[in-house]
Structure formats: structure tokens, C-alpha cells
Amino acid sequence: QKPVALLRLLVDKGFLYDRGKDLSIKYMKDMQFIAAMVPARCPYGVDPRFVRLFNVFSIAFPPEESIRRIYATILETFFTANAFDKSMQGSDLASRCTSVMMDVFNAVVAALPPTPAKFHYIFNLRDLGRITEGIMQVVPDKVNSVAATVRLERHEILRILNDRMVGDEDKAFLNEKIEEAVQKHFAAEAGGALADPILFGDFLPYHTIEDEGPGGDTVRLYEDMTDFNAIKPILDEVVEKYNMANKAMNLVLFDDCLDHVVRVHRLMRLPRGNALLVGVGGSGKQSITRLAAYTAGCDVFSVTLTRGYNEALFREDLKSLYAMIVEKPVAFLFTDNHVADEGFLELINNMLSSGMVPALFEESERDGIASNIRDEAVKKGALDSKEGAWNYYVSKCRDNLHVVLAMSPVGETLRVRCRSFPGMVNNTVIDWFVPWPEQALVSVAGVFLAKEDLPDANRQDIVTHMVLVHQSVMAQSEAFQLQLKRYNYVTPKNYLDFISNYRGVLRDERKKI
């Protein structure tokens, strides 16, 4: 309420007190005030003495018919203006695609409300816009039929809605609603559209583009990458290339890992694509982000905590970040371990919401930045003024910036932070990391034990036993939580430590022989 009291003084009286020794009055001239808020976000209401200073307008949520018409018109214009096949032009396909999207969206909103455990189940028009944006990433060279378009739409719905789901039950419900909607509106194309796995991306020609170098003829096009067997060899080579140029990552690319890499890579290739990766420690959030960024041609920036690291030092690091993103796309990897001060998240929230941190640059620094980029801004159609150049700079930085928040769901911390800083949910695409499936556990153990001298007859049994032990501990932890209401978190890091301890003990015991 303190900021509201300060604003009430400014709006009502037109001045503020300078917090110097003499508390001199500073009058603010030629200013108009426009405020916006979501009523549900303010549980205690707003001071009526503040509200009386405004003309208040209540903006009702648009009726469903209007929403359908908006997105159907956008898709119809896109398919018609970009020389897609005749079967895709006109209002029929756009209208049916919009109906699928709206049917699924309405079912999810009605059946999956936010709860304390599922605080991020906030579905709104932003999600419909992101689904539509994903559909509009394609070109006729790769998607030029009704069947391919329906499959693409299903993929985009899964990325925006399914990836944030916490449990198998919620995911099963969403997939059931998608299947119902596709069968209802695209019965003839349902077979191909509902086939799994479903992976869209633009890195299939990665090595060709790298070999050609800058100015080559091959371009990245968003397309259906068919299955994991098609992308695994490519990403295996990308990992090798990454390890030669950077600190080596010992990454096992099992199917679930590949799925997450494709999801994060998709956001790296979208302007203003930001991600909130939620998973317990050791899930691979940081490694996946670095691999996806490298594959997408983005640099990765993260802060390094030192003793006494505070907001002033964090702001200096952010200045370095903005010097990078004006040149090329950069992924800003920020984990919960980097939150030395909760005030850092306020700055992150501003970056997600507006693309810039308030008062990050001094006036002289802003003038220098605007002057350096002014010619480029004018060529791109910006106003030939200092303010026009600055707005162009902020917009360009926002397009090139990919904020990736890697957070743990353990405890209440993440829920409280997302409530305090809504940009963490509203301005990101959420990818919720579930426990590793059995196939992942087998793959990881197999890769790490491949270097050990084990009898061939017993190797697979040892791997199976490790998987069984880890799954047994997970099952007992769930029973422990149900009976005693206490949590024992079993993470992928525990599994990796288990394998590492086994290898260490094996080496030590062999030395004794």
C-alpha cells in the first residue's frame, strides 16, 4: 500500500517531496496517468481515495464468438497471403483449426483450475496467441496440406498447454480432449495428426548449414522431424561439437531428454521466446538449455555469484547482457541458486514484461546507445529521434533475449515467487520436468557403466537392479508422504550419485585384490 499512497499524493496534489534534508517540493507538470490491473490479483482491494482520482472502466472479457473470429481471421490471412495450397486457403481450414483450439482450451479452463499445488494452471488469451504464433512459423515448403496443418496445430497445443501439466492424469485428460476435437473437426486427417511422437523444429539441416557457413543457401525451416531416431544422431554430433568448444557435458540423450531439448530449442528460435523450466535438482534443466541454445545459434549468459553479490552487481551484469543481445540472440539462464536477493526477481519480471530493467542505464548511457543505433533504427522505420532510437533498441533487445528460468518445485518458494512476480508465468512457456521414465534410467545407467569392465552376462542385470532400486525408493517415498505427510525427494541427481558411488566402490575393491 505504500506505493499506492505515494502515487495518490502525486496524482492528487501534482507534486512529490524530495527526500533530501530540506524535503523540498517537486511539481510534476504535463503528466497524464493511466493505470491497469486485474481485480483478482488484489485480495484487499485498492484504496478508494486513490480510485476516486481516476475514471474507471471495466473491460469485460470478449465473448467466445469474437475470440473465434479474431484467430480464424488471423489464420485465414496467413494461409492465403503466403501461397499455401488451395485446400488451405479460405475460411474453412482457419475456422476449423480455431474450433479445435477453442474446444481444447475451454475444456482445460473448466476442468483444470489453479490450486496451491498447480499454481501455474493459469490459462488465458496469451496461450491462444502462442498456439497461433507457432502455427504461423511454417512455410509452404514444409507444411502444405490440411493433414500436416492439423498435426502442426496439435503439436503447438501440446507445447503450450501439455508441457506445463504436473501429473499423468492431467496430461491424459488434455490428450483425450485434443483427440476428441480433432476427430470432431478433422475426422479424415485424424490418423496422421494423432500419431506419436510429434516433434517440430528447424535443426534437421544443422550440419549442412554449419558446413556452408555464413551466406550459405540452406535455411532453417520449421518442419515435422518425424521421430527420435531422426534427431538423435544430429544432436549426438552437436553435443560432441559443443564439448570441443566449451566445458564438456556428459549428457545422455534418451527420448525424454530429446523431447525437452526440442521444446526449449523451439523457444530459442521464436522472437521473445522465454521459458520457465521446473524440475527437481539433477533433472538436466541447465544442460538441456545449453545444448538447445547452442543448436539454435544462441550464446548463453548467466551470472556468477561472488561474496557480497548484490543488486548493484547484478545490474552491472545485466548491462553486459544487454551489450550482447543487441548483436545476436542470447539465452539468459537464471536458476533458483542465483536468487541471492529476491529483488533480482523484480528485475527479471521487468525484463519479461517490458524487455528492459527500469533505470538500468544512466541518462548519458542511454543517449550513447540511442546515438549508436540511430541509423539502423531509421532504416528499419523507427522515428528519427532519440526516443525512437531508444524504443527500437529496447524492441531489438527484447526480440533477441531468451530468458530461461530453471527452478525447483520443492517447497512453497516457487509458488510464492510466481504469485509475487506474475511475469514468470504470464510471459514464459512452462516446461514441467517429470521424474525420469524407466527408459531414461536404463539408458543413463547403460552409458555410465559402458566404461566399466563388467562380465557381459551380468551387465544388463546390474543395470536392471540399479533401475529397480531407484524406482523402489521413489515408491517408498510416495508411501512415506501419504502416511506421514512428510516429503523425501528422490531426484535424478540421487540416481547419478548412486551410479557414481557404485563405480567408485568397484574401483576401490578391485585395487584391494
Q: What architecture is domain 256-432?
A: 3-Layer(aba) Sandwich (3.40)
When pLDDT is cut at 50, 70 and 90, the band that residue 73 belongs to is very high
CB 455 within 8 A of CB 245: no
Copy the grid coordinates of residue 254.
534418451
Helix orientation angle between 91-111 and 146-160, rounded to the nearest 10 degrees: 30
Q: State the number of CA atoms in the 13 A half-sphere of 470 facing the CB.
A: 26
Q: Is the pLDDT of residue 111 over 90?
A: yes
Q: What architecture is domain 64-193?
A: Up-down Bundle (1.20)
**Across residues 125-150, what is the average pLDDT?**
95
**Across residues 115-120, what is the average pLDDT?**
91
Q: What percent of the chain has pLDDT over 90?
A: 76
Does 197 sit behind a cis peptide bond, omega within 30 degrees of 0 on the bond before it? Answer: yes
| 61 vs 420 pLDDT, higher one | 420
Picking from 44-48, 155-159, 388-392, 411-415, which range would have the lowest pLDDT averaged per residue? 44-48
Q: Is the pLDDT of residue 410 over 90?
A: no
Q: Is the pLDDT of residue 265 over 70?
A: yes
When pLDDT is cut at 50, 70 and 90, the band that residue 44 belongs to is low
Q: Is the pLDDT of residue 41 over 70?
A: no
Please write the tens of the pLDDT for every residue from 339-352. 999 999 999 999 99
Q: What percent of the chain has pLDDT over 70?
A: 98
**Across residues 21-43, what is the average pLDDT?**
80
**Across residues 322-344, what is the average pLDDT?**
94
Please write the tens of the pLDDT for every residue from 288-322. 999 999 999 999 999 999 999 999 999 999 999 99
Asked whether the domain spanning 256-432 has the same topology as the one spanning 64-193, the reply is: no
**Across residues 170-186, what is the average pLDDT?**
96
Looking at every residue in the chain, the average pLDDT score rounds to: 92
List the chain domain ranges: 2-51, 64-193, 256-432, 438-512
CB 102 within 8 A of CB 124: no
Copy the grid coordinates of residue 458.
551380468
Please return the burial class of 318, using the count of CB atoms within 10 Å of its CB with bins 0-12, 13-18 and 19+.
buried
